[in-house]
A and B are shown apart, each in its own frame.
Chain A
């Protein structure tokens, strides 16, 4: 079965960087892209961006451009999301997710368990 297992919680100081991993199993990793979604405490869901596991193409939310980098390691079926120049409002649970089918428009059917990133001095 499809599983996405994320790395553990992180505590970072303002201005630092964080890199969250998402290890996929149960399917051919390069067939589907990985999206990243975050959720600040008590807030809604924010789509951060997407990476193709096939060719590494990316598309980032405009508000995160320049601070976020998404990569994949096909040898380990792992996706990574790095966020730089962290601010207190980057404190959130970060999720990786995969679309439910071959069609992008059919939504995100598989989710990781989430990684809490806390930014605090």
Chain B
């Protein structure tokens, strides 16, 4: 099975900061990597699909990059509404599984 890891597991940042979250797959998944944002008590929201494509309606300060096993989610100029938990997800083997990473919590410094 493909395992996903994320780093850091949490971070503290200020409004206006640039934030980078890393996701790593246990084997190459080409660019089949998606990013989600989840706020407390809410369903996850798709931000980025296939590593770098911005989902409709998502602000352009969010961007994704990477291929193979290493990927990054970057938030430029962090906004108050961006404080949330971010998950990566591989979609290389579909089916069977959309394995998620363990998440990265971004909170206010």
Contact = CB atoms under 8 A, between A and B. Distances in A.
Interface of A: 35, 37, 44-47, 50, 59-62, 95, 97, 100, 104-109, 111-114
Contact of A47 (B38, B45, B49, B100): B100
Contacts of B38: 45
Nearest to B99: A47
Interface of B: 1, 32, 34, 36, 38, 43-46, 49-50, 53, 55, 87, 89, 91-92, 94-103
10 contacts: A44-B102, A47-B97, A47-B98, A59-B97, A95-B44, A105-B32, A107-B50, A108-B46, A113-B43, A114-B43
B96 A107 contact: no
B49 A45 contact: no
B21 to A, nearest CB: 14
Contacts of A109: 46, 49, 55
Contacts of B102: 44
Nearest to B91: A105
A105 B50 contact: yes
Please list the 5 inter-chain residue pairs (A to B) with the smallest Cβ-Cβ separation, ordered nearest first.
A107-B34, A59-B95, A111-B43, A104-B94, A105-B91
Contacts of B98: 35, 37, 47, 50, 107-108
